[in-house]
Structure 1
Amino acid sequence: MQEMNRRDMLAMAAAFAALGGLAEAQVGPDGKLSQTTVFDFGKLPVKTNATGGASRAVLSGTLPTGEFLEVHETMLPPGQMPHPAHKHRHSEMMLIREGQLEFYAEDKVLPLGPGGVAFAGSNHMHGLKNVGQTPANYFVVAIGVQEK
C-alpha cells in the first residue's frame, strides 16, 4: 500500500468533513432519525481498526418513538475478533453478508454464515470471531439505550 503524503491526507480530511456534514443533514442536527432516506454504502467513510479490519458507520440517532438506533458495517479479517466478548444495555443484531463466524452467546459457541442473523439481548455476554479463511462482512444493528 502506498504511503499518503500531506496533500492526500488534507484531501481525505476535507472529504470526511463533507461526508460528516451530509450524515448530519440526513440524521438531523438534533440526533433525531426522522427523515426517510438512503445511505449510499460506497460513500460511507471507512475507518480501519487494530485487527486490520474496517468499519463503516451508517447511522446513529434517536427514532421518533424514542429508541436509540445505531447501524454499522464491519469487515473482519480471518482469525480475528472485533473486540473481546462483552455485554451492554442495548440489544444488537448482526446480519452476516459474507464469511464464516462463530457467535459467542453467553456460554455457547454457535456457527454463523452468510445470510445468518445473530441476536444479543440487553446485558447478555456475546462476541464474534471470524473462523473462515476469507474476510467476514456483517452489519450490526443496535437498538435500545444509548451508551454514554
Structure 2
Amino acid sequence: MIENGPGTEIAMNRRDFLASTATIPCAFLQTAQHVTHVDTVRDGAPLKSSVVKGQDLPAVGDSPGARAKVHFNGPTSQLAAVASGVVTLEPGSRPHPPHRHPEEELVIVTEGTGEIEIDGVPTQVKAGDMMYAEANVLHGITNTGSTMMTFYFTKMLGKNAG
C-alpha cells in the first residue's frame, strides 16, 4: 500500500510501482526500469492437470536480454496462486533488480552460469544448481557468464499467506 495523503492509501503492484519510478532523476537509479517479471494470478478458475508445450508460448517482459515464458499461472485447489515458467538471460543481463514478494520461489538453473543473490549474499551458480527463496526475502539473478543462461522458476502462494 502507498499512502496517498492523510488517511488514504492506494494499492499498487510491483509493476505499477516500478513504472511509477520512471520519473525519478537518473542520479538515483543505477539501471533502466525495464522489467521481465511474472506476477502470480490469484483470480479465476483453479488450474487443471495438463501439459503445456513451451515452444509456442509468447515471451513476456521488456528487460533487455531477458525473456520469460509462462507455462502455468493461477490458483489451484490448494494454493492461492502458482506461477511457473522459463527465463533466458543473455550474458550480462538480469530480469529485474533484486526484489521481494509474498510468494515462495524455486529457481533451477539448467544452462549457463550466473549469480543469485539472496538477502544481499551473492552465490555463483551453474547448470544443476537450485535456489529457494522464502516469502518476502530479497533475491535476484544475473547472468555473469559469456553464454546464454536458462532457469526455470516456480512461485507459490499458500491460501493462508498474506
**TM bucket, shorter chain:** 0.7 to 0.9
2:46 is matched by which residue type in structure 1? K
Tell me which residue corresponds to 2:142.
129
Tell me which residue corresponds to 1:83.
96
Identical positions, percent: 22
Tell me which residue corresponds to 1:103.
116
Tell me which residue corresponds to 2:155.
142
**1:89 and 1:145 in contact (8 A); partners too:** no
What is the Cα deviation at residue 48 of structure 1?
Answer: 5.4
- What's the secondary structure of 2:79's corresponding residue? coil
1:30 is matched by which residue type in structure 2? G
C-alpha distance in 2 between matches for 1:77 and 1:60 = 24
**1:91 and 1:142 in contact (8 A); partners too:** yes
What is the Cα deviation at residue 58 of structure 1?
Answer: 0.8
- What's the secondary structure of 2:127's corresponding residue? coil
1:53 aligns with 2:66: yes
1:116 aligns with 2:119: no
Residues 89-121 of structure 1 show CA distances to partners (whole Å, capped at 9, x for unaligned) of 111111111010101011211111101111111
Tell me which residue corresponds to 1:63.
76
2:123 is matched by which residue type in structure 1? L
**2:78 and 2:158 in contact (8 A); partners too:** no
Tell me which residue corresponds to 1:43.
56
Tell me which residue corresponds to 1:73.
86
Unaligned runs of 5+ in 1: 1-28
C-alpha distance in 2 between matches for 1:134 and 1:54 = 15
What is the Cα deviation at residue 145 of structure 1?
Answer: 5.5
With the length of structure 1 as denominator, give the TM-score of the two structures.
0.73
What is the Cα deviation at residue 46 of structure 1?
Answer: 2.1
With the length of structure 2 as denominator, give the TM-score of the two structures.
0.67
What is the Cα deviation at residue 49 of structure 1?
Answer: 2.3
Count of residue pairs the alignment pairs up: 117
C-alpha distance in 2 between matches for 1:117 and 1:131 = 16
**1:31 and 1:60 in contact (8 A); partners too:** no
Tell me which residue corresponds to 2:46.
32
**2:80 and 2:157 in contact (8 A); partners too:** yes
RMSD: 1.8
Unaligned runs of 5+ in 2: 1-42
Structure 1 stretch displaced more, 122-131 or 64-73? 64-73
**2:104 and 2:134 in contact (8 A); partners too:** yes
